[in-house]
Chains A and B, each alone.
Chain A
């Protein structure tokens, strides 16, 4: 089944390009460590999901590109065409002349309605091209004006017009220290709206990815394209084809549906994160060997201690002893040392994958009390290796990891809101103080729910 990607704003479009590029180069990679027949099945499955076929054989990404000013889309289209291996559809983009000015209200209340018909039209055309349609993958940032404002508007529209299809939003959490001054306002408005209309929010934090680039990849001068490539790698390792059951050789048909089913059991808890091991520069890769036991041990501890990458994991954090009553509700004043999960999904790819032992993830102490580990935890194993890594493991998790960052953003936005700074920029376009208060209320609710796990 196919996934249609909607790339919004500068961030969404820059990342979208890297994702398609990573997906296709992995599927064409010669280091799959499996037989030819299997490799071909893998390629076919990947192609069906993300690309449509053209007459001369060049795959066209199943994507709609939206931005309110032309520079980034032009760049993205030409980079894709230059690669020679794939490209974007000629008429798959929607562009205007003047951007959204980092103003969520302008994106949501002015650009959204004004261009609703054209954008939804483009999306519809892309969906019609799919033989069987799985759902939408929407890539956007929270800090700017287009990705955040129009992203929220489009997601809402998708919910109305395609109520039977799934929507997963890939949200980029901005750096804590200023990419945009009003990023906290834009973020809370986006999150509160998306929480109502989206099915799952897959979150990537710029700060975390930046650290991965610095510490694990050893990049000296980190650029946004480095960051986007790490992101694309993580997303690729989740969305590339996986087997549908333990021993069959058929690839899973409905990746989005399966992801949602496993990871979002309750609509109150929608925020997902990705952790992957190993992740390193190509030079180091040549000198490293991995065992499944080692990788999985690290991954499990990353989950428990809320570490975002392999380095600097706090090994002292332990799950509470099972059998004992829960230690009472966590308040935000204490550091959340132990990360309670609602649901986890581990995807393993590579050599000897069947021998990997994931028992450690089935420990009931890792999970909340209202879900049995057998329902809360799933593992997908695939023989075919991913992108030069002989063995790779990725964890998609619905857990308390985002509580602290979310709380910080809400706190900063609240402080700014109390002084009424910048509010006139939003009321100018119809977002009133009540709308802000509504957003604050919903997000405080989300924080409280996650805290009380």
Chain B
């Protein structure tokens, strides 16, 4: 069994991370009735004897003493992290695994990346090494951040580069929250939205994409707006914090992703299998995800969906966590991670049913990967996470590039970035050309969409 370390960067990253740890604890509490520290729990938690001073307190077997999250929390202002440390989860986090500053990155990618990057480089590396040492067999880093702010985007991408250099063998799974651009929200949300004010943040995103293209291994992009619209059906009560529902969904995504690696099932799927099956070409490592049923923390009133309905939902536009419509775009590959009392015949039946309405690329007509995990998520009898490598991410990138170019032509806000040491205009032009190349790749794939599938001539053997 392997372990994973979660690195949460920035305000958004830390809030989602907090949700994630809460859910992870609940899930393991539901499954592990006897309180024994087993391999499943060890994938995300350490078992520590808190009476021992210093570092020697790790216990590897036996009863659970005190669980510590395998996490590194990074933020350039203290508000969110302090709140976490005063909240109900304070005992789960090791205070030595935090890196905070006071001033914040001011929504400036360059500040996050260059200034704080160089300032905290050694500290970050030290914390990462420490957490890796605590692992028997470290398989994956989960990086949670947003692309809109300054810390999450700037420092987050700096971190990615560092992980690639220092831990080249360890998988990097990045969950990026992509900001929304429209202000069509009820009043109480607008204040927070100013953080995601589109124009300023565009540069961040572009630079972020550049680095992600070149160094990140896998990324799932999640857009808050679609989360809000898709979860609004499920929301019965108002949440106190605006992004609670959305954070919850993202946290669930991460949990479900790792469920088949942690728990038993008749067809297991490990994290390295995700990369193997869903990334046909190294640059096209962007995945779209959809989760059914979409549930939030306090929402236990969702009527249990019929099994087949669950599969149909996973492919509908409303359940996608990115504002995109995969059904009308081209699938390169698709993975179905099923939890609960679902058998292989149910999955096969649904694949046969849904296949005709989906378009797969010509060389991967049967591009399905299935996994069956016996343990359902808390409060539900079954759930489905669909991960797809689909050209429907292209419009998102194109939109991004367009908005960026509009601002860049006018040189708006540019000086904020250029005044940071080490930033030059070439950084921006490089970023744009990476993005353009990526869009071009997707274009080429889309061009093959409605062409008939041809059988290529095979090798002929002399008899």
Contact = CB atoms under 8 A, between A and B. Distances in A.
Contacts of A69: 1-2, 268, 270
Contacts of B352: 177
Interface string B19-61: 0000000000000000000010000000000000000000000
Contacts of B268: 10, 69, 71-72, 99
B282 A424 contact: yes
B369 interface: yes
Nearest to B277: A181
Interface residues of B, number: 48
B272 A99 contact: yes
B276 A214 contact: no
B272 to A, nearest CB: 3
Interface in A421-443: 421-422, 424-425, 437, 440-441
A224 B1 contact: no
A222 interface: yes
B455 A182 contact: no
A179 B334 CA distance: 11
A410 B268 CA distance: 26
B351 A177 contact: yes
Contacts of A452: 463
Interface in A49-82: 69-72, 75
Interface stretch (B201-209, B216-224, B237-245, B341-349): B341-349
Contact of A221 (B2, B266, B346, B368): B346
Contact of B348 (A10, A175, A440): A175
B369 A222 contact: no
B272 A98 contact: yes
A284 interface: no
B396 interface: no
Interface in B330-362: 333, 335, 343-346, 348, 351-352, 355, 362
Contact of B276 (A75, A101, A175, A222): A101
A33 B459 CA distance: 54
B364 A177 contact: no
Contacts, number: 140
B187 interface: no
Interface stretch (A302-310, A314-322, A411-419): A411-419
B343 A445 contact: no
Contact of B370 (A10, A71, A179, A416): A179
Nearest to B345: A222
Given A75-B264, A99-B270, A177 B366 contact: yes
A74 to B, nearest CB: 8
Nearest to A227: B344
A424 B273 CA distance: 14
A98 B370 contact: no
A410 B428 CA distance: 46
Residue among A75, A102, A222, A420 with the most chain B CB within 10 A? A102
Interface string B122-162: 00000000000000110100000000000000000000000
Interface in B84-127: none
Given A419-B363, A441-B459, A179 B369 contact: yes
Interface residues of A, number: 51
A111 interface: no
Contacts of B368: 177-179, 181
A420 B278 CA distance: 14
Residue among B2, B275, B280, B362 with the most chain A CB within 10 A? B280
B141 to A, nearest CB: 14
Contacts of A412: 365-366
Contacts of B39: 70-71
Contact of A225 (B266, B348, B364): B266
Interface string A175-202: 1111111100000000000000000000
A321 to B, nearest CB: 26
A182 B276 contact: yes
Given A99-B273, A210-B345, A415 B362 contact: yes
Interface in A160-184: 175-182
B361 to A, nearest CB: 8
A103 interface: yes
B281 A424 contact: yes
Contacts of B273: 99, 101-102, 145, 180
Contacts of A214: 345
A101 B276 CA distance: 7
B369 A444 contact: no
A181 B461 contact: no
Contacts of B344: 210, 222-224, 227
A14 interface: yes
A448 interface: yes
A98 B277 contact: no
A77 B346 CA distance: 28
B463 A70 contact: no
B198 interface: no
A96 to B, nearest CB: 8
A36 interface: no
Contact of A181 (B136, B369, B458): B369
A37 interface: no
B343 A221 contact: yes
Across the A-B interface, the 7 shortest Cβ-Cβ residue pairs: A178-B368, A101-B272, A222-B345, A421-B280, A97-B137, A223-B343, A224-B266
Interface of B: 1-2, 39, 136-137, 139, 264, 266-268, 270, 272-273, 275-282, 333, 335, 343-346, 348, 351-352, 355, 362-370, 372, 455-456, 458-461, 463
Given A177-B348, A179-B370, A445-B461, 9 more contacts: A10-B267, A69-B2, A98-B139, A101-B272, A145-B273, A180-B369, A181-B368, A414-B456, A444-B458
17 contacts: A69-B2, A72-B268, A98-B270, A98-B272, A99-B273, A102-B276, A103-B272, A178-B368, A181-B366, A182-B276, A213-B345, A221-B345, A224-B266, A224-B344, A419-B362, A444-B459, A448-B463
